[in-house]
Amino acid sequence: MTKYVYRFGGDVNDGGNGDKNLLGGKGANLDGMASIGLPVPPGFTITTAMCTRYYEDGEKFPDSLLEEVKAGIAHIQQITGKNFGDAADPLLVSVRSGARVSMPGMMDTVLNLGLNDQTVEGLAAVSGDARFAWDSYRRFVQMYSDVVLGLDHSEFEEALESAKEGNGFHLDTEMRAEDWKALVSEYKVIVERQWGKAFPQDVNDQLWGAIGAVFGSWQSERAKVYRRLNDIPAEWGTAVNVQAMVFGNMGDTSATGVAFTRDPATGENAYYGEYLINAQGEDVVAGIRTPQYLTKIAREKAGAKPLSMEESMPETYGELARVFDILEKHYRDMQDIEFTVQQNKLWMLQTRSGKRTAKAALKIAVDMAAEGLITQEEAVARVDPAALDQLLHPTLDPKAPRDVLTKGLPASPGAASGVIVFDADSAERRAELGEAVILVRVETSPEDIHGMHAAKGILTARGGMTSHAAVVARGMGRPCVSGAGALSIDNKARTMRIGDRQLVEGDILTIDGGTGEVMAGEVPTVQPELAGDFGTLMVWADKVRRLKVRANAETPLDCKTAREFGAEGVGLCRTEHMFFDAARITAVRQMILADSEAGRREALAKLLPEQRADFTAIFEVMAGLPVTIRLLDPPLHEFLPHQEAEFEEVAKAAGIGVEALKRRAAELHEFNPMLGHRGCRLGVTYPEIYEMQARAIFEAALDVADKSGEAPIPEVMIPLVATKKELELMKAVVDTTAQAVFSERGKTLEYLVGTMIELPRAALMADEIAEVGEFFSFGTNDLTQTTIGISRDDAGRFLTQYVDKGIFARDPFVSIDVEGVGQLIEIAAERGRKTREGIKLGICGEHGGDPASIAFCEKTGLDYVSASPYRVPIARLAAAQAALSAKK
């Protein structure tokens, strides 16, 4: 028979052995603290496996659990000498959740369980404190009614405030025993009115109601959202911890508090926390009363008057400090601790590895390695790569007030304030005048690139985490909130509306790309600080990683930023973004709309010097490093004119009539351009386009080699290849052009021609394609779209529900779908290497900056990942952690 209950305390060991997967984080650490002799109230843990079974069985408990819980209660009774439900000397328990990873505030807790109309009298008699007993009972009725019965808690709050006002009291601590007793009676009336039944008096009914409520809270909306945001699988479940109550509300010799063994905001090696005298845990957490500082130094620093715990309870504080040191050495990490003092006796209620800022995580990891508490490799493994985003972008001042209008998807981290503009031209124009602007669009397109670059931040009503706005914003290091569904935009009126709030162009807006919040007005930001700990940890990470890390970059600024963050080359240079520059868009449109090769070549001749200058600027920054340049990829219609004035401008430049141009534009229209005339299909149809780009690449590379003495290594990438023949044709164009340039210059240089694997057929035929291609770069954005058959720009409308319902573990555009897309990558890697041993393999989609996807790339044996410049440090750290995991 499966064992579902594990006891702790009183030298009992049921064999849980601190297994967080089985006991949850809280249960495992309670068991751990008890096993090293720390003062832990006895109790038992119902395992996460029971949670899974509970839902599988239609939210019912097996009969075997009844006996196991009964034995668990007997264990607590034996150690405490109190009996559950005993009217004379009652045992009271807490019932708390505890998933295998910390989910603070997401699931339910019930305290003081076991009180009823009889046991409250017994508690008053045995404690000698009727006020304490009735205070505990009113807390229990209020908490149980909210958590277990699901009643409206506001009515209970109103009753409490009314009772205080009626007595002329301001604080809960002023209430007397008779006041609490009267309030309990009122609470019971509220329960009967809202629930239709009397408040449960049977302590066993109370217990099972609370256990069911804690398991039930695993599927609450807030828990689901938290799991989705933190990539916690729904199948993990939560454990339930039932533990003897200890009381911090038994007068001035009792207290409760929360503490960290180091400062979770800065990482400073100093105790950090708060406590309250004569209170229970939820008083500290809920802010019902203002807590006091733990240490004298912290109190003096804040200029606070109420005494710190160090001053008011010096002996107990000394014992607590000793426990802090024991726990940090035992768990070898900064600990987040909950404790209670009952009549001068210290009890430990919880310890866990504390949540911390990225800045604190770096400092704690580096300091602990220096202290010899952990190794350098363990320090590398301790820091969450994704948390580094906090260090690389401005963030909002956490102390500043916020007028939050709505919340969208946190598409690109950082925070920005600026005036609202509704189009890219306005963004660029106002930015040139020195204004900070926020570009607000229904969705962005490649034509908005100049406005996005000019803007301090980007907000879109539509689009997901890997929409155009999100991808480009991350590459630029711009904060972005996408998919803000409550946002409606009237471009004609130049207004935006969220609910009943209307803002007009020129109003100030603030966005937080880390949380997805959209706020009216300006909220001050805090600039990032890349302290010495960052550099230290990166050196340690680079020692252990195998994967190279490149950047997705197409401007000199992007390349410079990427190199500063440690990029080892460019993994994807998208040439189409260069074509949208205002100075050359007319020539691009002339080339597209030309109805003959001669007309196209005339326009391309105008673009050649511009394109050569683009590549020269990139090669100068990346001299000596590989630069993968993707030849023109998007469908031509994206470059076409839309306004009458634009048609006239192109017609004038091309020397043909406007109507002829419009007819040509109509001919280029496509119903499904994502799968239409784009990628290598453009090169097959119009090889002169790729010829011009290849010439620009090789001329620029030779110029930089002459100037710097350090030749870049161009890797020319042919996009959207499905067949060997397509690549053969395009490679011939590139090679012929290269030889022509080398012949003209009298010099050669090393280069490669390869392809982007972004179609399932290309992955399956990788052995044939590798006969021609010298490298593969997996374009996982399009490979995900073409494998799953989902448009990433439209998926934001339903993918959240797919994740919530467990159809996908994570958004497949954020983290690689290992089972499907991942299998195609593995097949392509295996078949490509079989044909061409040592073929260079990399990944250049947005997944290149996702830690879970990087772990997959390490496992598959790819050579490099490529991420947007601001995610290069994240990729470096994630690659190191993947290498360390592979060694285990």
Q: Which residues are catalytic?
A: 468, 844
Q: Quick check: helix, strand or coil at residue 784?
A: helix
Q: Report DSSP letters for 676-722, one per residue.
A: SS-THHHHHH-HHHHHHHHHHHHHHHHHHHHHHS---EEEEEE-S--
CA distance 194 to 181: 20
Rounded to a whole number of angstroms, the CA Rg of the chain reads 32
Is the sign of the CA dihedral 19, 23, 24, 26 positive or negative? negative
Tokens coding 289: 């009363």
Phi and psi for 266 in degrees, rounded to 5? -110, -20
411's tokens: 């598409």
CA 386 to chain centre: 7
Neighbours of 60 (CB within 10 A): 12
CB-side exposure of 644: number of CA atoms within 13 Å? 0
The residues pairing with 240 across neighbouring beta strands, listed in sequence order, are 46, 97
Closest CA to 390 of 525, 228, 237: 525
CB 627 within 8 A of CB 553: no
Q: What are phi and psi of 419, to 5 degrees?
A: -80, 145
What's the Cα-to-Cα distance from 886 to each of 188, 474, 818, 829, rounded to whole Å? Answer: 58, 29, 17, 18
Separation CA 569–CA 562 (nearest Å) = 8
CA atoms within 13 A on the CB side of 259: 30
Secondary structure in 3-state letters for 645-689: HHHHHHHHHHCCCHHHHHHHHHHHCCCCHHHCCCCHHHHHHCHHH
User: What pairs with residue 421 in β-bridges?
Assistant: 439
Sign of CA dihedral 566, 547, 619, 721: negative
Which CA distances in Å does 186 have to 385, 630, 768? 52, 72, 80
Backbone φ and ψ of 439, nearest 5° = -80, 120
Beta bridge partners of 419: 437, 508
Contact by Cβ (8 Å): 694, 606: no
- Cβ within 8 Å of residue 130, ≥6 positions away: 124, 177
How far apart are the C-alpha atoms of 843 and 525, rounded to whole Å?
Answer: 34
Strands 93-99 and 238-244: antiparallel
Quickly count: other Cβ atoms within 10 Å of residue 80's Cβ.
Answer: 20
Question: Which of 454, 413, 463, 457 shows the shortest CA–CA distance to 433?
Answer: 454
**185, 187, 188, 190: CA torsion to nearest 10:** 130
The C-alpha atoms of residue 730 and residue 754 are separated, in whole angstroms, by: 10
Say which residues have a Cβ less than 8 Å from residue 355's Cβ, sequence separation at least 6: 102, 104, 264, 336
Token pair 């400073």: residue = 268
What the block records as the tokens of 872 is 């290069």
Q: What is the total residue count of the chain?
A: 888
Which amino acid does the sequence have at 101?
V
Residue 215 CA to its chain's centroid (Å): 25
The answer to whether 746 and 597 are in contact (CB under 8 A) is no
